[in-house]
Amino acid sequence: MPRDQGHDDKPSSSLNHSITRGTEMTDKYTALIDQASFQHMSAEMNAFDDKREVIIRQSRDILKASKQAIFSMHRGALDDATAKLAEADRVISQLAPLIEVDRSLRTGSFAAAMEEYAEAQCFLHFLEHGTLMSIDKLHSVEREEYLSGVVDFTGEVGRYAVAQATKRDVAQVEACRDIVEAISGEVLL
């Protein structure tokens, strides 16, 4: 509308009333709650969320390195697999202090990454020694993560057995069968 039709730049009185009333309502409700404690909780939640984001982001690095290690093992590149697992170890060491402070950060992405890590470590140990790696040798892995990793490890052993069967390596196929049967016997008890 043109300026000369009675409109000016001042807010309408109903808008002024609305702003004033909103301030009064805020002041009224502020007196009813402990605002400082809500601000403190908000700050704590934001700090937790920041830590959680770091855990999620870096857990992907553990997961990726562990998967790459497994692929390397299937190609027979054990040195590359060992290097990838060393990368995962480095990230796990970086995240350990955050998780020790708040155990709830271990669930989700980090636990999934640790399962994959346990699987990769068990597979490498099997290829090098013919036995299942003990949980005692995986200091950063918890029982549930280890057991999930072991169950997944049997799938990698099955794939490895198929590759060995195509090479007619009966001894390796039998070793694969034996380890899977030994694990199955324990899991089913």
Reported as a single tens digit per residue, the pLDDT across 122-139 is: 999 999 999 999 999 998
Sequence-distant (≥ 6) Cβ neighbours of residue 138 within 8 angstroms: 117, 118, 121, 146
> Cβ distance 82 to 70 under 8 Å?
no
pLDDT tens readout for residues 170-187:
999 999 999 999 999 988
pTM to 2 decimal places = 0.78
Domains in the chain, start-ordered, CATH in brackets?
Answer: 53-188 (1.20.58.2140)
> Cβ distance 131 to 123 under 8 Å?
no
Neighbours of 48 (CB within 10 A): 13
pLDDT band at 60 (very low <50, low <70, confident <90, very high): very high
Sequence-distant (≥ 6) Cβ neighbours of residue 131 within 8 angstroms: 125, 179
Instruction: Specify the amino acid at residue 126.
Output: F
Neighbours of 188 (CB within 10 A): 6
> Cβ distance 59 to 113 under 8 Å?
yes
Of 41-50, 65-74, 125-134, 178-187, which gets the smallest average pLDDT? 41-50
Rounded mean pLDDT, 46-59: 88
Tokens 């060393």 belong to residue: 86
Instruction: Specify the amino acid at residue 72.
Output: S
